[in-house]
Amino acid sequence: MNSKVQELKVFLGKAGSAALVEVAATKGSTPREAGAFMLVSASAIFGTIGGGQLEYMAIDKARQLLSPLEGEMAAKRPEGASSAAPATPPGGSAATLPSRGRGTRIEADEVCATLDVPLGPEIGQCCGGRVEVLIRLVDQSIEQELIANAEAEEAHLPHVYLFGGGHVGQALAASLALLPVHVVVVETRSEALEGMPDTVDTRLTPMPEAVVREAPAGSAFVILTHDHALDFLIVAEALKRDDTAYVGIIGSKTKKATFRNWFLKSAEGSDAQFGRLVSPIGGNAVKDKRPPVIAALAAAEIMTALVSHDKKAPRSANAEKAMAG
């Protein structure tokens, strides 16, 4: 399974030299919060500070800081070797980066720079706030700090367990793979786990309900297997935990009613526990049963539940540091 930490390490390994572009402070409405960052090399970008003209200005300034280093590296290259051409920023070209707008202050030396940018019509943004951006050349200390923070953040990502790798399971795994969560797809059939995104963990087991017992507190459980009886066993295990962020099952009103009857009479469940069950996943406001649509709606629903649960739960010092970037 690939991870964001691995992607970060690969970027730093290939960059040669890079600049860290970080949102140091914000006032009013801004695209990203303080602590958001991106990395800029001569030919690539990792992450984002919110896009738009602010990001283009930051990329331009970062590459100005990198230029002397790139010149030194070019001088050391063997004769005949060529460097990669500078990458075009998303949505624009290096030749058309915006000029500094009124009210923008730029302070710089050889290894760092600060941009103090009002997000107004002068730079073509209408957020209305103000952003201070700190740009630093990445040295070994900064690189180690970035990796350590990424590892700490990844270790505290909320877990989402998808039970079932069918059409909806595949679509939902693909949607969740783009989000800051640790996705685990659990299946009894090996072929159903084929083709999952690289960033998704997979578990092949004859007893998927046992995975529920081993999951960390605050996890989300989404049940959509090929077997209703198996669905019921997994949901029952999940509902009997009192530390879950979300428990959802795909299905109809009839399936939900059948499960309720079984859960209360045969599984020794309670109405309070059953009341925490989300069914159908993704809600019923949109009458569309296509897997990608269900997946999009369910992913939004799951993220909302995870964020809400996270706000209520105490956070460790490491997690706080990781969230701060």
Q: Read off the pLDDT of each residue in 288-297 and give the average, rounded to a whole number.
A: 95
Instruction: Compute the distance between CA of residue 325 and CA of residue 323 in angstroms, rounded to an integer.
Output: 5
The CB density around residue 266, as the number of other CB atoms within 10 Å, is 10
Asked if the model's pLDDT at residue 83 lies above 70, the reply is no
Rounded to two decimals, the pTM is 0.78
Give the C-alpha distances (Å, rounded to integers) separating 233 from 133, 165, 211, 214, 274.
Answer: 51, 17, 12, 15, 13
Instruction: Output the pLDDT for position 128.
Output: 77
The packing angle between helices 140-155 and 4-15, to 10°, is 170
Q: Read off the pLDDT of each residue in 227-247 and give the average, rounded to a whole number.
A: 96
Instruction: Output the pLDDT for position 3.
Output: 84
158-317 has which CATH code?
A: 3.40.50.720
Instruction: Compute the distance between CA of residue 177 and CA of residue 157 in angstroms, rounded to an integer.
Output: 12
Give the C-alpha distances (Å, rounded to integers) separating 217 from 160, 241, 246, 310.
Answer: 11, 9, 11, 11
Torsion of CA 270, 272, 277, 283, to 10 degrees: 140
pLDDT-derived band at 72 (thresholds 50, 70, 90) equals low
One-letter amino acid of 56 = Y
pLDDT digits (tens, 9 = 90+) for 250-268: 988 899 999 999 999 999 9
Q: Read off the pLDDT of each residue in 110-120 and give the average, rounded to a whole number.
A: 85
pLDDT-derived band at 73 (thresholds 50, 70, 90) equals low
Asked if residue 28 lies in contact with residue 129, where contact means CB atoms within 8 angstroms, the answer is yes
Q: What is the DSSP string of 62-125?
A: HHHHHHHHHHHHHHHSPTT--PPPPPPPTTS-GGGPPPPPTT-EEEE-SSEEEEEEE-SGGGT-
Percent of the chain surpassing pLDDT 90: 72
b/e for 147-171, b at 16 or more Cβ within 10 A?
Answer: eebbbbbbebbbbbbbbbbbebbbb
Most confident range (mean pLDDT) of 18-22, 87-91, 307-311, 320-324 is 18-22
Instruction: Output the pLDDT for position 173.
Output: 98
Query: Domain spans of the chain?
Result: 4-154, 158-317
Percent of the chain surpassing pLDDT 70: 82
pLDDT-derived band at 313 (thresholds 50, 70, 90) equals confident
Average per-residue pLDDT in the chain?
86
Q: Read off the pLDDT of each residue in 174-203 and give the average, rounded to a whole number.
A: 96
Instruction: Compute the distance between CA of residue 174 and CA of residue 134 in angstroms, rounded to an integer.
Output: 34
Instruction: Output the pLDDT for position 4.
Output: 87
